[in-house]
Structure 1
Amino acid sequence: MSLDGPVITRTTCAGRPAWLLRSAGHAMLLSAADGGAVVLDHWGGDGGPLGGDSYLPHTPWNRPSQAHFLDGVPLAHSVHGDRSFKEPGLVVVREDGSSITRLSLREDHVEDDVLRLVFEDAASGLVVEHRFAVSVGHGIVVRDVQVENRGVLPLRVERVASAVLGLPPARYESWTLHGRWGDEYRLTRRDLPPGKVVLDSRRGFTSHEANPWFAVGRVGEHGPVWFGALAWSGNWSIVLETERNEALHVVAGVNPFDSAWHLEPGEDFRTPPLVCGYAEDGLDGAARLLHRYQRDRVLPARHRDTPPPVHYNTWLATSFDVEVGHQVELAARAAELGVELFVVDDGWFAARTDDHAGLGDWVVDPAKFPRGLGELVDEVHRLGMGFGIWLEPEMVNPDSDLHRAHPDWVLHLPDRETTLSRNQLVLNFAREDVREGVFTRLRALLAEHRIDFVKWDHNRPYTEVGWPQAPRERRREVWVRHVRGVYEVIGRLRAEFPDLMIETCAGGGGRADLGILGLADLAQVSDNTDPSDRLRIQHGFSRAYAPRAMVGWVADAPEPTTGRTSPLEFRFHVAMQGVLGISGDILSWSEDERARASALIAEYKRVRPTVQDGDQHWLVPPTADEPCAVQYVSRDRREVVVFVYQVRGVPGEGPRRIRLRGLVPERRYRRSGDGLVTTGAALMAAGVPSAFPPPVAPGHTEDWRSRIEVWQAVEVTG
């Protein structure tokens, strides 16, 4: 998108210095108030060039001065020590124990699409830089904060948020993602009450229970939505605070729980980014903005132009019982089906007959691979597939050579017994020797074998989070330094093996965020492969994350988590909403099942470019017993792919139709299969039927019905 005029403009607002930031249909107006406050005068639709000195009326709450507190004023940052009593975004403690900070604007810098506002606390020497990076074509502003100690005495940063966001008085509602293992990404709507709603993780990683994404809108309005997603894979916090005048105050960043950062003179600290934006067309529109931004700016650049492959994972077929002959048979069958990547999951390394031993050593088991792993790797490549392998590099079993040699490498406290979960402990990636040791072993594994893909797993939360070897003043930095250390190791591996693809997994869907997705190409969404559950899980996941990054698995029936049975086509159609994967005992599939699976994989490959890189529209979200439908439109709007599902039949409802979205009204579209031709306007106004034909086979029910419709633009000649 091109804009009339600059992306960032210096201006004035109510007589104050101000900055206008503009992107695709989106604008922010910031102004500097007395006492170092930054007012968020406007965040929302782009009103075009300034028609005065403010987007907002000059009301008292919009014109703070020394005579007014800042409560109820929409702010772009909040500091413990300013004239407000709302949630602070910055708390810094001096050596004398004082935590009062008083900032004043020192300078501003506009460089192309980036605004930097620099503040200083003259008494302590603290310098705070707020960065606003505008992604013009995506309707996105990326925010982060850097704090620097330019004084002569140390400072302790108890809290520094990535961003503070304020909205003017109104009644607001929020959407957030919550859940648990096997039931992740449950989209939750609530009216925001007076006071605070706190979303967070204290588990050391992103977590199954909540995700660092939010969206808010005004109650009763089915349109404007403000949203944010934090690029951080450790402890995080998002506070939604409704003030006494119903103004909304949002603080998002690293969780201050049990955390602090020591700043010696000359040292600095930068927060992870918060990606935030505004959409006129609700949650679906907000999701599309995030999807485009992730595809273009977040996911690793090496593979952005390469569709993620259809892959087969061995876990549900073999568990820990890995044996080279059986693996070769599975690989041959997978290649016959049209699979493009073969991934050996847990159980390939020495001492790994269950989850009690071997984790951390990453030595190929000579009993399972007498001629080495290369025998299987070469055969998989000969069959025309890439080769992938499962790793869990951040963890270690006590029963391992690594732990016996380096028991101090785990997160621990010397006077507290360590807690085992899944029979494993967490390696302390804050330590340089741990990072170097893990990197060296993984580099050797990848260099020795032609490994194209790594499934990077993470199967437990953190307890006894201690770093007793560190100086006392640095020990609470471990939560942040650990995550940065994980990022460092993955980044070094990607640099040394640039063609390597990585899937992030954490007991299924426990670690998906914009931080890890800057390093991993794909994300596992859940260990639960039940397709009826996955419809809801994938709907929630895709509110925040792109289908191109969303892994779906086709498993055997009955499904191993819930015991439900569903048709093969239904399982495939659900898994085809993002990146198609298969796991299960494909050697036991009948000839008919193999033929149908092969046809479904071929169909997926035909629609994959539109599914993975097009605009997604959830036409009808999943419910317990209603039809649901999701649509994808190619970027040029010439192809439309629609998935329609019915989990349970509801007789007597009468005919229903599902209206499509995002088409060119005057363009003509032809449906593959029956050749029906109609216009984009008709498909958006009248839609397509949600009903399915009656079951052909006697005794079949209306449950578990699904179909794909593909509409392609018709070239009009003459």
Structure 2
Amino acid sequence: MTAQNLHHLSAAGVSLVVDTSSGTPHIIHWGEDWGKGMLADLEVLSAETAMAPNGDVSSPSGIWRENARGFYGRPAVRAHRAGADWTHKFELTTVSASDTALHFESEDAAAGIRVTCTFTVAHSGVILVDSTITNSGAEGLQVEEFATWLPLPDTATESIDFSGRWVNERQLFRRDIQPGLWSRDILEGRTSHDSTIMQFAMTDAATFQNGSVWGVGLLWSGNTRHMIERTATGRTEIGAAELLLPGEMILDAGASYRAPTVAAAFASDGFDGVSHRLHEWLRARPGHLGANSPRPLTLNVWEAVYFDHSFDKLSALVDAAAEVGVERFVLDDGWFAGRRDDNAGLGDWVIDTAVWPEGLTPLIDRVQAAGMQFGLWFEGEMVNANSELYRTHPEWIFGADGRIPAEVRNQQVLDLTHPGAYAHVLGQVDAVLSANAVSYIKWDHNRPLVEPSHLGHAAVHEQTLAIYRLFDEIKQRHPHVEIESCASGGARIDLGMAQHADRFWASDCNDALERERIQRNTMFAIPPEMLGTHIGPTRSHTTGRVHTLQFRAAIALFGHAGIEWDITECTPEERAQLASWAQYYKDHRALLHSGRVVRQGDDDAPVHIMGVVAPSQDAAIYSYVQLRDIGSSIPARIRLSGLDPDARYRVTLVEPAGAAPPSARSIPQWCAGAEVTGRALADKGLLAPILFPESAVTIEAKRV
């Protein structure tokens, strides 16, 4: 190893170092930037050859993990030609570098395969990895897996990923890293409620503020695989890949497959640190809507009217929404032809004149006259058997060998890889948007893909690319239109869709107790301004729980806030509470949608603390949430992290939607205002008010 064979990327305190002295790119460091002398140190520390007790030599296998180089784990490339050319040894042919990117090209001439890999560092220190495989042989090449792997240090001993189901997305699972391969596979053809978004590894006992954390996430909305492998040598790597179906990626001579980009994030200051890097990376993407484009307070009418679309009822909702300060009014499912329930209509994206004889114009005019934007629901990737589209083109649904897949929610999946099907959906959506003042789309996706076959071949990959193209084309034709990705709640929240949509619906569950955890865990990767966080009805329709308006409002504040409730039934007191909360959200959303997210409390702790700290550290807003009985008579103190330790702050209890009911008469003195240093707030903390379970209070901190 010599200095000329070391290639270095660095930004925001993160470094990636690749060694090419063995003839293949080999990552020798991904983690903290040590500063001056780092390459010299690595040249010394990485030069020694590891030897096992039996005399086996551990040679660097490099990023492709080839068995030909003595690697016995899962290779990065699994490809063959009808059983031939299945083992590979890639020799480096080209290296190019810039301040922000490293590019490597390698080839196995005997197998007739070329591979490339590009590492690009974002301003926040997130590393983006792009890989391509090309068939340079004469016969077809079947690619079964093409994965990105990055090394983890010996100090990475634990991992986190997420699981879930409908209305209970992103449950956090923490476990020790053990020998063997741990793989989180998604085969729904969409990201799924069970998606992990990212997989993380960390040092022992890492917390939100402490410890080193490494994470990888696939920029992809189809089938995915996230992996951690510890080999018998004790070395550990973390990886991700598109999960390709049988025969889905067969490359003709000269053809290439570009794997989905992988985002790799590292931080030495805990989970909040790695989340902040990911949030800043997403905030820098073109067209991001956040602090500089205030996220409108939104009312979605689904839980208010369901399919009962009445102009009088909706007009009353418009009036109520305007009274409490709503800025965007979204008409959900039920406006299009034949859609009186969920048995018919999907696929026929034309306004139902039986319900709307004058079209949507009277309602839109009413909404705009009240000073609000108008939004509309679509589910363009689905079709009901009872629809004009299905009767005309039954061949446009996914299915294999002439079988019609089992219906889910009375619908089938429309195969957008059919040019005609794609043109139909784009054309009808474009026509509605062109004829109506729609500024927002809620785009749903209510079922997984079963036997996703196009003309006999697996087509999840192409279907995923098709929805990306469709969203991009809609926004090109209608630049003012925002798109929310909703998939039966939170079943399509991923880093790939984040490049094409503006907002995510986090879950169909509006129970504030469940939502607190769902939102908090989604923010491991997604910034708050991209998450729809709504106040639901007093009694949740998914759990039956009853919560105070104050509690529901406190949880909904930390995101792109809104309401999902028939507010025409609100009492005058409740409307006043909503109006007060709405104004507080508007006054503080620039901070909520630009700051650093900070959290306290394990996932299963009885108390959670969540906050957003301004980039200047001049102000912060925190939520103290008591989820259940704390198990002691006096709660632990409230530690507020993320502030300037040497600055003094005035901390105050604020009540945007009214006071939380205390379970004791004693209210801490600081609630009326107190001045404390950031260091004391983080280390000592505030005396906690004694609350009932399923209660929350909101705290402001302002530099003095």
- TM normalised by structure 2 equals 0.92
Unaligned runs of 5+ in 2: 655-671
CA RMSD of aligned residues (A): 2.2
**In the alignment, structure 1 residue 146 sits paired with structure 2 residue 128:** no
Paired residue type of 2:169: E
Q: Return the alpha-carbon distance in structure 2 between the equivalents of residues 638 and 151 of structure 1.
A: 61
Residue in structure 2 matching 1:205, options 181, 184, 190: 190
Shift, 1:622, TM fit: 5.2
Equivalent residue, structure 2, for 1:611: 592
Shift, 1:89, TM fit: 1.4
Equivalent residue, structure 1, for 2:621: 641
Equivalent residue, structure 2, for 1:481: 462
Residue in structure 1 matching 2:50, options 61, 68, 78: 61
Kept in 2: contact 1:619–1:658 (CA 8 A): no
Unaligned runs of 5+ in 1: 1-12, 470-474, 694-701
Cα pair distance change 1:61/1:574, threshold 3 Å = same
**In the alignment, structure 1 residue 308 sits paired with structure 2 residue 295:** yes
Kept in 1: contact 2:113–2:137 (CA 8 A): yes
Paired residue type of 2:129: R
Shift, 1:22, TM fit: 1.2
Equivalent residue, structure 2, for 1:422: 409
Q: Return the alpha-carbon distance in structure 2 between the equivalents of residues 80 and 560 of structure 1.
A: 54
Paired residue type of 1:686: K
Equivalent residue, structure 1, for 2:451: 464
Residue in structure 2 matching 1:218, options 181, 190, 203: 203
Shift, 1:492, TM fit: 0.5
Cα pair distance change 1:172/1:688, threshold 3 Å = same
Shift, 1:220, TM fit: 4.7
Kept in 2: contact 1:322–1:368 (CA 8 A): yes
Equivalent residue, structure 2, for 1:3: none
Equivalent residue, structure 1, for 2:662: none
Cα pair distance change 1:425/1:61, threshold 3 Å = farther
**In the alignment, structure 1 residue 524 sits paired with structure 2 residue 524:** no
Which has the larger displacement, 143-152 or 241-250?
143-152
For 1:379-528, what aligned pairs fall within 5 Å after superposition?
379-468=366-455, 475-476=457-458, 478-528=459-509
**In the alignment, structure 1 residue 628 sits paired with structure 2 residue 603:** no
Cα pair distance change 1:81/1:483, threshold 3 Å = farther
Kept in 1: contact 2:9–2:101 (CA 8 A): no
Shift, 1:632, TM fit: 0.9
Equivalent residue, structure 2, for 1:133: 120
Residue in structure 2 matching 1:596, options 553, 573, 577: 577
Kept in 2: contact 1:74–1:166 (CA 8 A): no
For 1:329-344, what aligned pairs fall within 5 Å after superposition?
329-344=316-331
Cα pair distance change 1:556/1:657, threshold 3 Å = same
Cα pair distance change 1:691/1:248, threshold 3 Å = same
Kept in 2: contact 1:19–1:31 (CA 8 A): yes
Shift, 1:567, TM fit: 0.5
For 1:106-125, what aligned pairs fall within 5 Å after superposition?
106-125=93-112
Residue in structure 2 matching 1:160, options 132, 135, 146: 146
**In the alignment, structure 1 residue 32 sits paired with structure 2 residue 32:** no
Q: Return the alpha-carbon distance in structure 1 between the equivalents of residues 67 and 224 of structure 2.
A: 19
Which has the larger displacement, 614-623 or 223-232?
614-623
Shift, 1:414, TM fit: 3.2
**In the alignment, structure 1 residue 687 sits paired with structure 2 residue 685:** yes
Shift, 1:96, TM fit: 6.8
Shift, 1:703, TM fit: 3.0
| 1:48 counterpart SS class | coil
Equivalent residue, structure 1, for 2:279: 291
Equivalent residue, structure 2, for 1:176: 161
Q: Return the alpha-carbon distance in structure 1 between the equivalents of residues 109 and 2 of structure 2.
A: 27
**In the alignment, structure 1 residue 41 sits paired with structure 2 residue 24:** no
Residue in structure 2 matching 1:251, options 239, 255, 277: 239
Q: Return the alpha-carbon distance in structure 2 between the equivalents of residues 404 and 236 of structure 1.
A: 33
Shift, 1:68, TM fit: 4.5
Q: CA deviation digits over 1:522-580, x for unaligned, max 9?
A: 11111111111111112211112111111112111211111111100100110111111
Equivalent residue, structure 1, for 2:540: 559
Cα pair distance change 1:582/1:62, threshold 3 Å = farther
Cα pair distance change 1:245/1:266, threshold 3 Å = closer
Cα pair distance change 1:427/1:69, threshold 3 Å = farther
Residue in structure 2 matching 1:278, options 251, 255, 266: 266
- TM normalised by structure 1 equals 0.90
Paired residue type of 1:527: D
Paired residue type of 1:139: G
Shift, 1:78, TM fit: 2.3
Equivalent residue, structure 2, for 1:10: none
Equivalent residue, structure 2, for 1:583: 564
Shift, 1:484, TM fit: 0.2
Cα pair distance change 1:173/1:303, threshold 3 Å = closer
Cα pair distance change 1:133/1:704, threshold 3 Å = same
Q: CA deviation digits over 1:464-498, x for unaligned, max 9?
A: 221117xxxxx23x111110011001010011111
Residue in structure 1 matching 2:651, options 646, 671, 674: 671
